[in-house]
Amino acid sequence: MLDQADGYVTADGRQIGPVVMEMQNITLRFGGVEAIKDISFDIREGEVRAIIGPNGAGKSSMLNVISGFYVPQEGQVLYKGAPRPSMKPFEVARQGIARTFQNIALFEGMSVLDNVMTGRLTHMKTGMFSQALWKGRAEAEETENREVAEKIIDFLEIQAIRKTPVARLPYGLKKRVELARALAAEPNLLLLDEPMAGMNVEEKEDMSRFILSMNDEFGTTIALIEHDMGVVMDLSDRVVVMDYGKKIGDGTPDEVRNNQDVIDAYLGVSHD
Amino acid sequence: MSKTSDGANGLVSVPALLYRNASEFGNAPAYREKEFGIWQSWTWSQTCEEVEALALGLLDLGVAEGDFIAVIGRNRPYLYWSMMAAQMVGAVPVPLYQDAAAEEMAYTLSHCGARFVIAGDQEQVDKVMEVQAELSDFEAMIYLDPRGLRKYDHSALTQYSAVQAAGRDKRSALEPEMKSRIAKLDYDSTCVMLYTSGTTGKPKGVVLSNRNVIETSKSSSEFDGLRQSDSILAYLPMAWVGDFIFSVGQALWTGFCTNCPESAETMHTDLREIGPTYYFAPPRVFETQLTNVMIRMEDASPFKKRLFDYFMGVARRVGPAILDGESVSASDRLLYNIGELMVYGPLKNTLGFSRVRVGYTAGEAIGPEIFDFYRSLGINLKQLYGQTEATVFITAQPDGQVRSDTVGVQCPGVELRIADNGEVFYRSPGVFVEYYKNADSTADTKDAEGWVATGDAGFIEESSGHLRIIDRAKDVGKMASGSMFAPKYVENKLKFFPNILEAVVFGNERDECTAFINIDLNAVGNWAERNNIAYASYQELAGHPEVVATIQSHVEEVNASVAQDEMLSDCQVHRFVVLHKQLDADDGELTRTQKVRRRIIEDKFSDIIDALYNGSTDVSTTTEVTYEDGRKGAISATLDIRSAAVRPVAQKMAAE
């Protein structure tokens, strides 16, 4: 049912667009270990796509393949219809892909605002020299980018910590700052690596609300990895389920929930 | 005085004042709000245009004269304009507490029969939608912040800016109707309806006329010499009468600038950036700020700490006298000036009080140390006494006559009377019109001659003419021995200790007094940190033996001080518990303005009260709690019951 070229309509009535990224028969090996075995799926414009699976299922490896950090030994990744060559991280960023990390990777000594501003880097055209002098074009450019950064700070409700160094923030807020930085890049595709890991119920609810509003407000396409099933089922439009490097399910949350292989993977199989 | 019938200088309504400001101070800032990291500002003429556009948009939506329009959200210029726009089309604005739960909102919305709701954001929209099935008069909602609302059904939901845009488009068609409705407004038209927080029973809708609001704004502005160039920070709930008078009434009367913080969390930063000249805060805010200063000074370098301690000593000795304009020796004055340079100035700047000319606190008694601390820094902090039914002002302290234990002399135009049972009555131009749809309560509170019962017991000090409030009249009771029981008096003494956030004293018709105590997590938590005491939760900290021992010493100190008072010496606390949970408005234990609801607490914790009186040494209890998102849970605990030493009443003669 998801084969139509021009997307589908979600349960809550959003129009999902054409395929943005397509994985074709991806296999990834580390020496003798096959982390991903022959997986294919796609990500469509405007959807929230989740990749779930038990520990060690290969979720993070999959995200790294999507982000271009790992190059699979077999299969290919199509981005906007074109096969993607091996790329440096900054080239990936220029393509409009932003991500957050499972273990937060922020500049600890810098303020929240400065961290969010680094997300604007790909949108700045003036050089280091003119930025240091802060004259003419560089000044105007900073103002424009600051405005975008401030809109995101407002959106994620982190105004109160705008000037606080990141090192002083609690974990849940750092996660939110990382999201702000990724969002500041105005990405076409946003990759979230376990956005809810280590959070309490309230923080998870906040984060879910932000992810949904982001998708709603900016139309950002989101691919996320998560092992909290409840959260994923509420958030996503379509879910890929992985187990031991293999794809064992793909579809809407309801389809996945009723898939016997998925139930077995999560709850175990009885051997009687 | 002669103007009361035709209004102050012919200005008989909020729209009339707005038009005057737009023409007289057109280019002066009227409202500011911090958004996207910078202060966005609107002049009086821009404000006027914004309000008109919204008013026209409301006409377009079909708002009729006499309709009630509820306004719910944090302090934002747009919501203040919403109230003014409602008045322009002859409707009555009803600001509601933004942190109220959906059921509480359902009550007020259906009581006034609001046809329209203007909501700040998704959270408020959700709450109204949750209860809208119960609201027979409700028709449509307008929202300000579109985040998260894109997917909502928009058949009865419109964005604020869209309403304004429609108003601007249809200006020529709708303007005559708006003008004619404004022309119909007079001094007796309803200006606003405010729901009282309701320490007992359901909230009551207090109807205030233009006369109430404008007369009060005028006389109180004159009392404190407020000027057009003043500025205030609007951060207290919009549903509270004080905020309406400061940010709408007085702001319109004098034309000063109202500043709205970026969010509740950034309030202190925003306060510092704005540096208001006129400032209001409940005692709790001053307490928290002082606690924070003291905590930070504990961590300062020894040199800074000594400097601070020395100059604060100087300030305590001579600061209040300098502020009151009394004579002070030249050497003290010099020391104070050096202190201003080294300590007070920078401290006031950090707190955001550098420019405060008039500061008020009210609502609860303020601890004398806290009050003196701010005054000794040179901040003109004063007390006032008021209530919604009086359009705030009943008494206030004039400059130069400020003390922590009185609430001042009657405001211009206010008459005071003390009844035989000690209850305070007043009559003024600010006296409310009525409680909406509640003639019985109106008659109970206000008599035919316009005297209003405050419900507070107090007396007028002979020497100074200042009013002193003892307690809520209905809370003042008799102990079994027949002596007077005034719980608030003791509670306030307890709360003056930074470690104690809240206290509830029991003892009416009993032999002895007992108390519930809530620790202040900030102050006690900091103490625990410095003393390497580990704790995982509020409950664990509150139950820590050393914490309980500290609280016990505070209780005993209070007992010693209560014993000095001849009338109230029987109110000493014999036994107490440190509660395992913080009393909370979400659980109904406090009002939204953070006042203790005694009856509800007595019911809810009756098992603990029984234990306090039956001689047990501990009590196991389970309490239901409501989380911020409305879900319920339960916490259980075993609480220690402590006995505190009391002074025999006879001993008070011996004690100094």
Give residue-wise pLDDT tens across range B326-373.
888 999 999 999 999 999 999 999 999 999 999 999 877 787 888 989
**pLDDT above 50 (res B221):** yes
Residues B37, A162: C-beta atoms closer than 8 Å = yes
What would the DSSP string read from start to end of chain A? ----TT-EE-TTSPEE-SEEEEEEEEEEEETTEEEEEEEEEEEETT-EEEEE-STTSSHHHHHHHHHTSS--SEEEEEETTEEPPP--HHHHHHTTEEE--SS----TTSBHHHHHHHTTGGG--S-HHHHHHT-THHHHHHHHHHHHHHHHHHHTT-GGGTTSBGGGS-HHHHHHHHHHHHHHT--SEEEEESTTTT--HHHHHHHHHHHHHHHHHH--EEEEE---HHHHHHH-SEEEEEETTEEEEEE-HHHHHT-HHHHHHHH-----
Q: What is the pLDDT of residue A5?
A: 58
Report the predicted TM-score, pTM, of the whole model to 2 decimal places. 0.82
Please list every residue in chain B whose beta carbon sits closer than 8 Å to the beta carbon of residue A209.
Answer: 148
- Reported as a pLDDT band with limits 50, 70 and 90, residue B299 is confident
Nearest CB to A150; choose among B36, B147, B151: B36
Q: What percent of chain B has pLDDT over 70?
A: 97
- List the structure tokens of A76: 């290919």
> pLDDT value at position B493?
86
Closest CA to B555 of B572, B580, B533, B537: B572
β-partners of residue B639 are B619
Which chain B residues have a beta carbon less than 8 Å from that of A151? Answer: 36
From its phi and psi, is residue B490 left (phi > 0), alpha (psi between -120 and 50) or beta? alpha
pLDDT band at B473 (very low <50, low <70, confident <90, very high): confident
The H or E element that residue B360 is part of is strand B358-361
Which chain B residue's Cα is nearest to A147? B36
In angstroms, rounded to a whole number, what is the distance separating the alpha carbons of residues B615 and B535? 29
The predicted model gives B26-34 an average pLDDT of 95
Q: What is the mean pLDDT of residues B84-113?
A: 94
Banded pLDDT at B7 (limits 50, 70, 90)? low
Nearest CA in chain B to A15: B151
User: Residue B200's pLDDT is what?
Assistant: 60
Predicted confidence at residue B41, as pLDDT, reads 96
CB contacts < 8 A, A to B, total 40
- In this prediction, residue A181 has a pLDDT band, given cuts at 50, 70 and 90, of very high
User: Nearest-CA residue of chain A relative to B629?
Assistant: A202
Predicted ipTM > 0.95: no
B437-462 tens-digit pLDDT = 999 989 989 999 999 999 888 888 88
In the predicted structure, residue B654 carries a pLDDT above the cut 60: no
Q: How far apart are CA B647 and CA B656, in angstroms?
A: 13
Residue B111 predicted with pLDDT over 80 = yes
Whether pLDDT at B655 is above 50:
no
From its phi and psi, is residue A80 left (phi > 0), alpha (psi between -120 and 50) or beta? Answer: left
Cβ within 8 Å, pair B629-A205:
yes
User: Which two tokens mark B431?
Assistant: 């006296």
- Count Cβ atoms within 10 A of the Cβ of residue B632 and give its class: 0-12 exposed, 13-18 middle, 19 or more buried: exposed
More confident residue, B570 or B166: B166
Taking the C-alpha atoms of residue A35 and residue A57, their distance in angstroms, rounded to an integer, is 8
Mean pLDDT of the residues in chain A: 86
Quick check: A209 and B148 CB within 8 A? yes
CB contact under 8 A, A160 and B265: yes
Single-letter amino acid code for the residue at B86: A
Residues 76-115 of A with CB under 8 A from B: 113
Question: Which chain A residue shows the shortest CA-CA distance from B265?
Answer: A160
Residue A136 identity (one-letter amino acid): G
Contacts of A161 (CB under 8 A, 6+ apart): A112, A169, A173, A177
B265 and A146 in contact by Cβ < 8 A? no
How far apart are alpha carbons A62 and B74 in whole angstroms? 44
- How many angstroms separate the CA of residue B275 from the nearest CA in chain A? 18
A69 confidence band (pLDDT: 50, 70, 90) = confident
Q: What is the structure's pLDDT at B482?
A: 80
Using the beta-carbon criterion (under 8 Å), do A159 and B151 form an inter-chain contact?
no
Q: In the prediction, which pLDDT does A85 show? A: 77
Q: Which of A154, A162, A215 to mutate to test the interface with B (most CBs of B within 10 A)?
A: A154
Contact with chain B for residue A154, Cβ under 8 A: yes
Per-residue pLDDT tens digits for B236-259: 999 999 999 999 999 999 999 999
* pLDDT score at B594: 77
For residue B650, pLDDT beyond 50: no
Arithmetic mean of pLDDT, B391-400: 92
| Range of weakest confidence among B44-58, B562-576, B598-612 | B562-576
Report chain A residues whose CB lies below 8 A from the CB of B150: 216-217
Nearest to A24 by CA among A69, A82, A92, A90: A82
Q: Quickly state the pLDDT bin for B653 (edges 50, 70, 90).
A: very low
Residue B2 has what pLDDT?
38
pLDDT confidence bin for B648, thresholds 50/70/90:
confident
Which of B147, B151, B159, B627 best tests the A interface by mutation, with the highest count of A CBs <10 A?
A: B147
Q: Residue B52: name the closest of B215, B156, B144, B171 by CA.
A: B171
Q: How far apart are the first and last CA of chain B?
A: 51
The 10s digit of each residue's pLDDT in B59-69 is 999 999 999 99
pLDDT at B4: 42
Q: Do B37 and A146 touch (CB under 8 A)?
A: yes
Chain-wide mean pLDDT for chain B?
90
Whether residue B656 has pLDDT greater than 60: no
B contacts of A15 (beta carbons < 8 Å): none
Mean pLDDT of A138-159: 90
Mean pLDDT of B579-604: 86
- Structure confidence by residue, pLDDT tens digits, A72-122: 999 989 988 888 877 788 888 888 899 888 888 899 999 999 999 999 888
Cβ-based neighbours of A237, under 8 Å, separated by 6 or more: A10, A14, A16, A47, A48, A49, A252
CB within 8 Å of chain B, chain A residues 240-269: none
| Mean pLDDT within A9-26 | 85
